[in-house]
Amino acid sequence: MSDIERETFDIDSDFLNLMTMLASSVWCYLGKMQGSASDKIHVDLQNAKIAIDMLLALRSKTMNNLTKKEEEMLNSTISNLQINYAEEVEKFKLNQKKN
């Protein structure tokens, strides 16, 4: 078995799908990705935070129960989402000050 095949088996497909579903929701809520329900891009920081919190809860509840690759993917996903969330919050605050 090659290293790539071994890495693929180190990731549970259901776990990957759940993580991807939650991350996609956050990207939509941050206005970085178009949702499938409409053609409009809409920013919803409250729901973005809720979905990020769900990923944090998933990480907490699966601690010591993930493969190294799953843990790395989850940590990386959460970090990227948190950075983008913080940027959107700052944009929102700047827009509030202008108005």
Domain boundaries, the chain: 3-98
pLDDT at 44: 95
pTM reported for the whole predicted model: 0.84
What does each of the 99 residues of the chain score in pLDDT, given as a tens digit? 454 554 556 889 999 999 999 999 999 999 998 766 666 788 999 999 999 999 999 999 999 999 999 999 999 999 999 999 999 999 999 988 887
List of long-range contacts for 32-38, beta carbons under 8 Å, 24+ apart: 32/84
Query: Is the Cβ–Cβ distance between 64 and 6 less than 8 Å?
Result: no
Q: Choose the CATH number for 3-98 among 1.20.58, 1.10.1790, 1.10.287, 1.10.3470.
A: 1.20.58
Cβ–Cβ under 8 Å, residues 88 and 42: no
Do 29 and 43 meet the contact criterion of CB atoms below 8 Å apart? yes
